[in-house]
Amino acid sequence: MAAGGLRRKHKRQRLQQVLDAAEELFFRDGYEATRIETIADSASVAPATVYNYFATKPNLLMALAIRHVRTALPERRAYLADLPDDPLAAILGFERLLAEQAMRHLSRECWRVILSAQQMEPGARPSRTGARLNNLIRGHYVRLLTTYRDRGLLRRDIDLGHLADLIVGITTWDFSRFVATETGDIEDLLRMGVPHVRLILEGLMTEEGARLLAASTAEGDAPRAVGVAPDPVPA
């Protein structure tokens, strides 16, 4: 069957073992409370091997975050491929989806670590991979916004890159406030975000878009995200 490349194959397997073990333990016992040695044991691997793969514990956590963002990608694509009429609803629905995905495998404590790692030591490895994550989301928003501009709801003179940055910025900020709490749920997060996003959008819509936005004001809450399936486990 697979002739050579055993080295690489086993490496991938071990990496997944470590990530799986870490995910389980971070979720169950918390990030700080979980020791590298425990992860190694649980993954049937020597602690030194964990360090062969990940220089630091935060790095391991970032890798976990990236893996989740990767495996959940198809679900986000599906959402973006079938957007509602109302751009505000679209953005809030997307936020809900992102939040749900985020909560699916990583605890708030983990996200606190991830988000704070981006602040400190800009340029360090964890920070840069954090930037990659942000960039991925930014790309999604550019696509989303482009759709609505093409539908004639957003003014054509707007730089969608900048707008996407703005939205990612404020929603990330809201999300970091969200994970800073231990009690609030995703509905609270969205309630917090609605006025921000609305304020941003109000000035940037065409007349038709403004009509739609006004209409959606009456309706109240943000729409539910699309059906949330568990992540497909890659072979």
* C-alpha pair distances (Å), 111 with each of 66, 70, 229: 12, 16, 21
Query: What's the token pair of residue 122?
Result: 């800009």
Under the binding rule (CB under 7 A), the answer on residue 117 touching DNA is no
Which residue from 28, 35, 128, 155 is in contact with DNA, where contact means CB under 7 A?
35
Q: How far apart are CA 140 and CA 49, in angstroms?
A: 35
Under the binding rule (CB under 7 A), the answer on residue 1 touching DNA is no
Partner whose footprint covers residue 1, from DNA, a second copy, none (CB < 5 to 8 Å by kind): a second copy
Partner whose footprint covers residue 116, from DNA, a second copy, none (CB < 5 to 8 Å by kind): none
Q: How far apart are CA 115 and CA 178, in angstroms?
A: 12
What is the phi-psi region of residue 44: left when phi exceeds 0, alpha when psi lies from -120 to 50, beta otherwise? Answer: left
Which residue from 28, 44, 121, 202 is in contact with a second copy, where contact means CB under 8 A?
44
State which residue, 41 or 100, has the beta carbon closest to DNA: 41
Rounded to a whole number of angstroms, the minimum distance from the CB of residue 6 to a second copy is 6
Q: Residue 154 pairs with which residues in a beta bridge?
A: 205
Which residue from 20, 24, 36, 206 is in contact with DNA, where contact means CB under 7 A?
36
Under the binding rule (CB under 7 A), the answer on residue 193 touching DNA is no
- Contact between 204 and 155 under an 8 Å Cβ cutoff? The reply is yes
Under the binding rule (CB under 7 A), the answer on residue 116 touching DNA is no
> Which segment (2-10, 109-117, 127-135, 166-174) binds a second copy by CB under 8 A?
2-10
State which residue, 47 or 223, has the beta carbon closest to DNA: 47
> In this structure, is the dihedral angle defined by the CA atoms of residues 227, 230, 231 and 232, taken in order, positive or negative?
negative
Under the binding rule (CB under 8 A), the answer on residue 46 touching a second copy is yes
Query: What's the token pair of residue 53?
Result: 């793969």
- Residue 168 has, within 13 A of its CA and on its CB side, a CA count of 21
Residue 205 DSSP SS3: strand
The contact set with a second copy (CB under 8 A) reads: 1-3, 6, 9-10, 41-42, 44-46
The contact set with DNA (CB under 7 A) reads: 4-8, 10-11, 14, 34-37, 44-49, 51-53, 55-58
